[in-house]
Amino acid sequence: MGDKKVLGVKDLILMTVVAIFCIRQIPNVAPYGASSVVLWIIAACSFFLPLSMVCGELSTGWPEEGGLYVWIREAFGSRLGWLAVFLYICSCMVYFPVMLQFVVASVGFVFDEALASNKVFIGITSMIVFWILTIINIRGMKATKKLINFTTIFGIFVPGAILVLLTIYWLASGHPMATDYGTISNWIPDLSRWDTIVFLSSMMFAFSGMEISLMFAGHTKNPQKIFPVAIFWSALIILALYLVGTFCLNVMFPSQDANIVAGIMQAIKVAATELNLMWLLPAMGVMTALGAIGQTNAWLIGPIYMLNAASGEHHILGKKISELHPKYRTPSFALYVQACLVSFFCLFSFITPSAEAAYWALSAMTILFYFVQYLLVFAAYYKLRITKKDVKRTFVIPGKVLPVILPALGFISIVFALVLAVIPPAQIDMGNKIIYELQTIGGLVVAAIVGDLLYRRAIRRHSAARPTLK
């Protein structure tokens, strides 16, 4: 589809970093203060490490366009493979508004702090930004690659470097740390109350997305050799960015006062005011928004290619959904449909108590939709190790114990994250608890039923269309 074999190691690393690392996740974790360091490491070891290793092995055994759909289909058949893809697409539909809300809030904060919490401004502007990104992606993989590379450098690495330098300057100029990292007890996470640790599920989600770059196997030069290298370096870079970013935010802004939508900009504003660097606020606002736009863009097209692979010969969503643009040979119809659905969820902020409540509700729904397919990926790994052991893999999880323990650890951590996601956080007024749980759990159940009905209808239609032998 479109441009072929244009991605190398550098492109995959940049694509993976921008797809996974999300500066918006840092304010979620900042309220934990010094204990955030321990929590980031726990999340990385219990989820990110197993996911990276499993994706690394499966991607070299089945380096086909479609990523996790291919792995689940090979292990459990096309029905479960399709359901995983359908829930994945649903997770993207609610995830894009979350990212866009962060983009709009970051830029709005520069002009007027009230805009960062204005539900109407956030909802409508988010829709406009997503339609612009959709039009860019319709122009093909080369346009997508250029935008991702640009936003990774100027939306993640450059503002990250500025944040580190700003923190060093803050401390060197005699300003005290706004968050206490010197007391040993502050490093120990308080896990006594479930409603105060629900953001742990968000931390695990902060490490998800390793499979995004693997969906572009058809556009990658020598994927079996390149994927393991890209995954290894991406994992190291992402963990380092999260640890350093959270520390920098807490140095300049009290952990307990961080807003989960505009926390980064709050810290930048305090530092810019204290250090008389007011030019920094609009510059960082634009760059952090660029990083979030790059991440949204990295996720925008990948699931569509996976959807086309999953829809397959049965045309589960109809033949029209796979229709390609006459000039750019991209799945333009599917992208337009996706943009319409995302526009609907962008307006979700209108019916929640606050912009923060809408932000977290959509985040929780994303986690539920998204993590179900990871349960299937870890289960597929075990089955393929047994039933398809003859398939050559250029990378395998080493040893005899790690291939058993790591996927099990990842599976258990996901179950834990799913439970946390349905608990309303104590830090945010989510309104009626029952309505919140109906939105999250009910949304997952309805999506799963709809996805399965679509598959069964397609199978019946396909069977009826076959010529009957007499």
Half-sphere exposure of residue 264, counting CA atoms within 13 Å on the CB side?
Answer: 36
In a domain, 73, yes or no: yes
Highest mean pLDDT among 94-103, 232-241, 346-355, 368-377: 368-377
In a domain, 4, yes or no: no
Query: What percent of the chain stands above pLDDT 70?
Result: 81
For 381-403, what is the mean pLDDT?
Answer: 88
Which residue pairs, CB below 8 angstroms and at least 24 apart, start in 167-175?
A: 167/247, 167/248, 167/251, 167/252, 169/275, 170/251, 170/252, 170/271, 170/274, 170/275, 171/251, 173/275, 175/252, 175/274
pLDDT in the model for residue 24: 67
pLDDT in the model for residue 441: 85
DSSP 25-60: HHHHHGGGTTHHHHHHHHHIIIIIHHHHHHHHHHHH
What's the pTM?
0.74
pLDDT in tens, 149-204: 788 788 888 888 888 888 898 889 888 888 888 888 888 877 666 555 666 666 78
In a domain, 2, yes or no: no
In the predicted structure, residue 466 carries a pLDDT above the cut 80: no
> What is the extent of the structural domain holding 107?
9-465
- CA–CA distance, 283 with 345 (Å, rounded to integer): 29
pLDDT in the model for residue 290: 84
For 337-356, what is the mean pLDDT?
Answer: 75
User: Total structural domains in the chain?
Assistant: 1
pLDDT in tens, 301-343: 767 766 766 666 566 776 777 777 788 777 888 888 888 888 8
In a domain, 381, yes or no: yes
In a domain, 384, yes or no: yes
pLDDT in tens, 417-429: 888 878 777 666 6
In the predicted structure, residue 56 carries a pLDDT above the cut 60: yes
Count the neighbouring beta carbons within 10 Å of the beta carbon of residue 202.
24
pLDDT in tens, 245-301: 888 888 887 766 666 555 677 778 888 888 888 888 888 888 878 887 887 877 777
pLDDT band for position 379 (cuts 50, 70, 90): very high
Residue 407 near residue 93 (C-beta atoms within 8 A): no
- CA–CA distance, 140 with 328 (Å, rounded to integer): 6
Query: SS3 for 109-128, per residue?
Result: HHHCHHHHHCHHHHHHHHHH
Cross-strand partners of 220: 7
Cross-strand partners of 7: 220
Q: DSSP 3-state helix, strand, coil percentages of the chain (rounded to 5)?
A: 75, 0, 25
pLDDT band for position 377 (cuts 50, 70, 90): very high
- CA–CA distance, 315 with 336 (Å, rounded to integer): 18
In a domain, 148, yes or no: yes
Q: What are phi and psi of 7, to 5 degrees?
A: -105, 130
Name the nearest CA neighbour of 90 among 277, 344, 285. 344
Residue 41 or 384, more confident: 384
| Six-digit token string for 194 | 């479930």
- Would you give the DSSP letter of residue 321? G
Residue 150 near residue 15 (C-beta atoms within 8 A): no
Sign of torsion over alpha carbons 32, 235, 14, 416: negative
In a domain, 3, yes or no: no
Residue 402 or 223, more confident: 402
- CA-based Rg of the chain, rounded to a whole angstrom? 22
- CA–CA distance, 245 with 252 (Å, rounded to integer): 11
Out of 202-211, 327-336, 349-358, pick the least confident: 349-358
In a domain, 470, yes or no: no
Query: What percent of the chain stands above pLDDT 90?
Result: 9
Which CATH number does the domain housing residue 448 bear? Answer: 1.20.1740.10
